[in-house]
Amino acid sequence: MKKHNFYAGPSILSQYTIKNTADAVLNFADTGLSILEVSHRSKEFQAVMDEAQALVKELLNVPDGYHVLFLGGGASLQFCMVPFNLLAKKAAYLETGTWAVNAIKEARLFGEVDVVASSKDANFSYIPKGFTVPDDVDYFHYTTNNTIFGTEIRKDPDVNVRLVADMSSDIFSRPVDVSKYDVIYAGAQKNLAPAGVTLVIVKEDALGKVERPIPTMLDYRTHIKKGSMFNTPPVLPVYSALQTLRYYKEMGGVEALEKLDLAKAARLYEAIDSSKMFTGTVTDPADRSIMNVCFVMTPEYKELEKDFVDFAAARGIVGIKGHRSVGGFRASLYNALPMESVEVLIQAMKDFEATK
Ligand X SMILES: *Cc1c(COP(=O)(O)O)cnc(C)c1O
Q: Does 227 bind ligand X (CB under 6 A)?
A: no
Residue from 169, 173, 228, 289 binding ligand X (CB under 6 A): 169
Query: Minimum distance from CB of 3 to ligand X (Å)?
Result: 21
Q: Which is nearer to ligand X, 118 or 147 (CB)?
A: 147
How many other C-beta atoms lie within 10 A of the C-beta of residue 7?
A: 18
| 335 sits near ligand X (criterion: CB under 6 A) | no
Cβ nearer to ligand X, comparing 169 with 244: 169
Q: In the range 8-27, which residues lie near ligand X by CB under 6 A?
A: 9
Q: Which of 4, 30, 95 is nearest to 314 (CA)?
A: 4
Check residue 72 for interaction with ligand X (CB under 6 A): no
CA distance 16 to 19: 5
Check if 99 is active-site: yes
**Continuous H helices in the chain:** 15-26, 43-59, 74-86, 98-107, 220-225, 235-251, 253-273, 305-313, 339-354
- 99 in contact with ligand X (CB under 6 A): yes
Catalytic residue (one of 99, 138, 170, 203): 99
12, 59, 75, 202: residue in contact with ligand X (rule CB under 6 A): 75
C-alpha–C-alpha distance, residues 223 and 243, integer Å: 22
Q: Is 2 exposed, middle or buried (0-12, 13-18, 19+ CB in 10 A)?
A: exposed
Among candidate residues 274, 269, 278, the one with its CA nearest the CA of residue 342: 269
As a whole number of angstroms, the distance between CA 106 and CA 183 comes to 16
Minimum CB–partner distance for residue 198 and ligand X (Å): 6
Assess 322 for contact with ligand X (CB under 6 A): no
Contact flag: residue 74 with ligand X (CB under 6 A): yes
Task: Give me the residues paired with residue 94 across strands.
Answer: 117
Which of 17, 125, 126, 187 forms a contact with ligand X (CB under 6 A)?
187
Known catalytic membership, residue 166? yes
Contact stretch for ligand X (CB under 6 A) within 70-78, 297-305, 308-316, 320-328: 70-78
Shortest distance in whole angstroms from residue 287 CB to ligand X: 15
Q: In 3D, which of 199, 210, 124 has the Cα closest to residue 162?
A: 210
342 CB neighbour count, 10 Å cutoff: 22
Minimum CB distance to ligand X smaller for 169 or for 335: 169
Rg (CA), the chain: 21
Residue 191 contacts ligand X per CB under 6 A: no
Asked whether the beta carbons of 52 and 283 are under 8 A apart, the reply is no
Segment near ligand X (CB under 6 A), from 72-80, 244-252, 267-275, 329-337?
72-80
The answer to whether 168 touches 147, Cβ cutoff 8 Å, is yes
Segment 129 to 148, residues that bind ligand X, using CB under 6 A: 143, 147
Q: Exactly one of 138, 166, 182, 261 is catalytic; name it.
A: 166
Burial of 346 from C-beta contacts in 10 A (0-12 / 13-18 / 19+): middle
Min CB(41)–ligand X separation in Å:
26
Q: Beta partners for 117?
A: 94
Q: Which of 75/192 has CB closer to ligand X?
A: 75
How many residues of this chain bind ligand X (CB under 6 A)?
A: 12
Which residue in the list 190, 203, 264, 321 is annotated as catalytic?
190
Hey, which residues are catalytic here?
99, 166, 190
Which residues of the chain form contacts with ligand X (CB under 6 A)? 9, 74-76, 99, 143, 147, 166, 168-169, 187, 190
